[in-house]
């Protein structure tokens, strides 16, 4: 009665496995699931570059791959939009605000002013 269902790998499970595999040995099925998902997320963002707001799960995956988009203005704006719309508990969102310490509307690299609006 194993706990691993290789045919039922969810994005959330794949992300958890990848994040806990700190030695870099991530199973191919996990990588494939996450790569497919980040591709879908990026296509959605590109289709609506100034309006698309990621879900919590999408943001968690996007944050996992954030180094791919470090110098991309569209990606930075998408992250800022997520934080501007996100109303939940920050500990529930993977990839917390390491590149943007405040949810400022147009400042993905905010200066830490606490208050937003």
Confidence of residue 35 (pLDDT cuts 50, 70, 90): very high
Range of weakest confidence among 49-58, 76-85, 87-96: 87-96
Q: The pTM is what?
A: 0.68
Average pLDDT along the chain: 78
H helix or E strand, kind and range, residue 41: helix 28-47
Q: How many CB atoms are closer than 10 A to CB 65?
A: 17
At residue 8, the pLDDT reads 80
pLDDT digits (tens, 9 = 90+) for 9-29: 999 999 999 999 878 899 999
Task: Please tell me whether residue 24 adopts helix, strand or coil conformation.
Answer: coil
């Amino acid at each position: 009665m194993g706990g691993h269902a290789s045919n039922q790998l969810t994005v959330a499970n794949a992300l958890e496995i990848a994040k806990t595999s700190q030695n870099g040995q991530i199973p191919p099925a996990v990588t494939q699931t996450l790569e497919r998902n980040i591709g879908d997320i990026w296509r959605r963002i590109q289709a609506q570059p100034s309006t698309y707001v990621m879900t919590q799960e999408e943001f968690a995956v996007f944050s996992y791959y954030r180094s791919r988009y470090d110098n991309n203005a569209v990606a930075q704006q998408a992250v800022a939009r997520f934080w501007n719309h996100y109303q939940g508990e920050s500990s529930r969102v993977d990839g917390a605000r390491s590149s943007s310490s405040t949810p400022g509307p147009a400042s993905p690299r905010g200066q830490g002013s606490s208050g937003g609006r």
